[in-house]
Structure formats: C-alpha cells, structure tokens
Structure 1
Amino acid sequence: MMINSACYSFVSIAKSKLRFKKINCTLPETESGIEHNPTSTRASSNSRTNKMEEYNIAMKKMMRNPYEYHHDLGMNYTLITDNLIVGSQPQKPEDIDHLKQVENVAYILNLQQDKDVEFWGIDLQSIIKRCQELGIRHMRRPARDFDPDSLRSELPKAASSLEWAISEGKGKVYVHCTAGLGRAPAVAITYMFWFCGMNLNTAYDTLTSKRPCGPNKRAIRGATYDLAKNDPWKEPFESLPEYAFADIADWERNLIRDCVHSLRGS
C-alpha cells in the first residue's frame, strides 16, 4: 500500500539520523470529565439549531451510540493523559487564550477539513493567527468526517504529528476535530496503542471512560495492519476477524514506530 512504500523509503534515514525523547504517557491523577469554556455563549438562531441537528443525524448513523455535538455550548475538552487533551473545535481566538493560560497548551492538532470549518462558520485564520501570537504550534491533518477509510489513511501522519509534539515536551497537545467524538479521539487512541504500550482495547477503554465518544476502532485496526503487515502475500484486511490487529507483537510495534517517525515533516 502507499503508506508502506513511503514508510520504507524513510525508515533507514529515521533510524540513523533521528533521536527521540522519552514519551510521557502518564494518565492524569484526577479525571475532570468534559470541561466547558466559561466564556461560551448559547446561540439562539434556527440556522444554528438546524446545523446541529444535521450534524448529529450524520453522527448517529456512523456511531454505535447516539453521541451529540452541542456547538452552542462552546468548546469542550477532556484531559486524557498529563500531556494530551482531546476536544471539540476552538470557535474563536479567546478559546486559544483559554487553552494557553489554563491548560498550558503548546500544540494544536486539527483533524478538520476546510468544509467542516466553513459549515460551522469558524474564522480559522483568526484562530491560527492567535496561535502564532501566543507561541502555539498549529498543525493540520485533515480527514473526512464520518469516513473510516479516510481516517484510516490519515492516522499514520496524524499519529506522527501527535507523537512529535508530545516528544518535544513544551506543553500539552490539544487534538480536535469538530465535535471531538470521532476523528480526534481515534488519533489519540492510535497514539496510545502504538506508543504507550497498550493494546487497542485498553487504549480505547481508557479514553472512552474519560470522554464518552465513539471513534471507529476498525479504522485504527486497519491503519495498524497497513504499517505492521508488510508481507507482499498478506491476506486482505477485510477478510480478517474482528480481533485482528487489536494487539501487536513488540517487533510489529517497533516497525510501526519507525514508520511513523519517518513520516515527520511529510
């Protein structure tokens, strides 16, 4: 697959030239649940309500449980580990101030496509500008919402950006999509699976116990298969049982890490 070919062209370089800092995967001592920005205000327009209904209908179709996004309540997020936060989209520059001052966020990883931002009327450029003013590194790894195949293909690069930001150790990393219920938690779970020594079910349960959500586990398994199963005669992922690649051997995890490291800057 394309990911594997790109990976192996860089692995030798990654092994010989890059050094990586120890990653802190420590879970926070306290679980604060989902926190709400106190500066949030309720929207009252019918168009905003219709947008939420439209989005939630699509979300319910793609998830096993009927989780909903309440845009009118403002940005919401959950501390997953000491240096990793998963949440919904920042809606205004003041949200960036909050993340910097209250949570010491030094990196933001945005999984949204342009059309997601436009759908909710977010002025992304003003948010990026505020990030620059506050010294926050804003990164984008767009994946199509409600599309497991798009998420699967983007997970290696997104996990690469997340792992790099955490390894820099300059502050917390805020990972978000639109609602913080699908793409963003999937990237966080993938990172915990590949880099924190957990199997997929443990990583999934750890995150979802803190932030109730429904990320696509099959997309994570598929991305793991793409990187770890490099035999030219490998069986198709679609023919494998549901438990396949929910856990991996140490050599497979090391192979995945080398591949992910090689994607830095791509």
Structure 2
Amino acid sequence: MVPSNSFKVKRISCKLSESGVEESATSNRVSNSNNRMEDYNTVMKGMMRNPYEYHHDLGMNYALITDHLIVGSQPQKPEDVDHLKQEENVAYILNLQQDKDVEYWEVDLPSIIKRCKELEIRHMRRPARDFDPDSLRSGLPKAVSSLEWAISEGKGKVYVHCTAGLGRAPAVAIAYMFWFCGMDLNTAYDTLTSKRPCGPSKQAIRGATYDLAKNDPWKEPLESLQNVLLKMLRIGRGT
C-alpha cells in the first residue's frame, strides 16, 4: 500500500508444537484474523470502489504527509504509541473510529489511551462511520477543526488514523490541506495519495465544503472559503 520505508512492519509469528504442528489455539486465532481481514477488505473494495487492502497482521503503518501531519492505520497496542512518540515526535492522536471498529479488530483501546496519557500525548476522537461518505461528510468539519487546532499548537506531529488509514483519515487530512494550506482540492488529494496510495471520498470533501459555505450567515463568495472556514471551525476546536 505504501513504500516500505514509510511504515514500520510488524509480523505475527506462529509457535509450533514439538511435533511441528501449530497449536490449535494459535491456528484458530490466525485463521480468525485472516477471515476478519478478508471480510473487511471485501467490503472495503466494494463500498469504496478501489483496490486497496488493509493487512492488520502487518501492524500499524503510516505515511508522513507534511512536516506536522501523519496519516496511518490504527495503533494496535501501547507499544505503537511509544513508537509514534519516540520515532515521530507525535504529540496528538486523532482517532476517527467508532467503538464497533475497535471491537471488530479486538484492539484494547483503553490501554492505548492510558499509554497516551502517560506519554503526554493528547488522544482525540471524532468518530465517523466506516465506508459511509455521508457520515464522513457530516463529520469532516469537527475532525478538521481538531486537526487544525492540534497543528496550530505546535507541540509535535499529529497522527490521524481510522482503521486502515485509507478512507476517513486521509479524507480529513486532504480537507485540512484544502481548507487551510492554500491548496485546491485536486492538489491536496494528489499530494496525499502520492505519499499514501488510497482512495478516500473526494465527493464527501466537496460536500462538506459546500455545507460550510452554504451555512455561512454572511454568504461570502466561495473564493474566500478558507477565511470563512477558519472563522467557523475555530469555534469548539479541540473539544
């Protein structure tokens, strides 16, 4: 999905019994994990209409998008938080998953949040439904607001993730670059996908942009949308 030098790969090792046959419990866990990934990727390809896949068994993966912004897959254990802090100087984690996403992958989120607190990393949640462009569209303003606030604090990098880091998280990063970094939508989209190949919903970002412009009480022209968004999104940012 991304160049090998862009993320840290972790692999599952299967223990063998003395007879050389995998222990049944381990075998069942691996089988269940493989089935879970296969089911997830089948749904993702069908709903998002792109060929990208998520390989949970390879561990957390990510790409540096800007000097202050990283987009990736879900941290799976507290050690992933240590890696982000020590290797990438991450000071904020923006999590776009719903509770059911975390439960599906059997990730112990409380232990990850606990480790974030211990390392003084601010953990923020802005849930959006997976594979749902309407949910993403409605959730983008608050998610981008939290991202803009965290970056503006200047304390370290922001790690934005969903489950696979291929839909919701890159969409938030693209919307941020579009709304706040002086890029048009196509440039922001191409900038991110050149560093992390993925297929987030461009239509959801367009829709969220339209919603914000439409709801501006001053009805300012679309060309000045970045200033409008900055004014609107700062309300309640980081909450």
Q: What is the TM-score of this pair, normalised by structure 1?
A: 0.79
Amino acid at match of 2:45: K
Alignment identity in percent? 76
Structural RMSD (CA): 2.0
Deviation at 1:219, TM superposition (A): 0.5
Aligned equivalent of 2:187? 202
Deviation at 1:256, TM superposition (A): 1.5
Aligned equivalent of 2:11? 41
- Structure 2 contact 149–238 (Cα < 8 Å) conserved: no
Gaps of 5+ in 2: 14-26
User: Which SS does the other structure have where 2:234 is aligned?
Assistant: helix
Deviation at 1:263, TM superposition (A): 3.0
Aligned equivalent of 1:83? 68
Deviation at 1:79, TM superposition (A): 0.1
Gaps of 5+ in 1: 1-30, 235-247
Aligned equivalent of 1:156? 141
Task: Work out the number of aligned pairs and report it.
Answer: 221
- Structure 1 contact 37–95 (Cα < 8 Å) conserved: no
**In structure 1, which of residues 181, 197, 200 is the aligned counterpart of residue 166 of structure 2?**
181
**In structure 2, which of residues 189, 192, 197 is the aligned counterpart of residue 212 of structure 1?**
197
Aligned equivalent of 1:254? 227
Aligned equivalent of 1:55? 40
Deviation at 1:230, TM superposition (A): 3.2
Deviation at 1:33, TM superposition (A): 6.4
Aligned equivalent of 1:130? 115
Counterparts of 2:95 and 2:5, CA distance in 1: 19
Q: What is the TM-score of this pair, normalised by structure 2?
A: 0.88
- Structure 1 contact 36–73 (Cα < 8 Å) conserved: no
Deviations 1:158-194 (A, max 9, x none): 0000000000000000000000000000000000000
Counterparts of 1:89 and 1:112, CA distance in 2: 9
- Structure 1 contact 85–172 (Cα < 8 Å) conserved: yes
User: Which SS does the other structure have where 1:127 is aligned?
Assistant: helix
User: Which SS does the other structure have where 1:52 is aligned?
Assistant: helix
Larger RCO, structure (CA 8 Å, separation 6 or more): 1
Counterparts of 2:148 and 2:64, CA distance in 1: 16
Amino acid at match of 1:51: R
Aligned equivalent of 1:69? 54
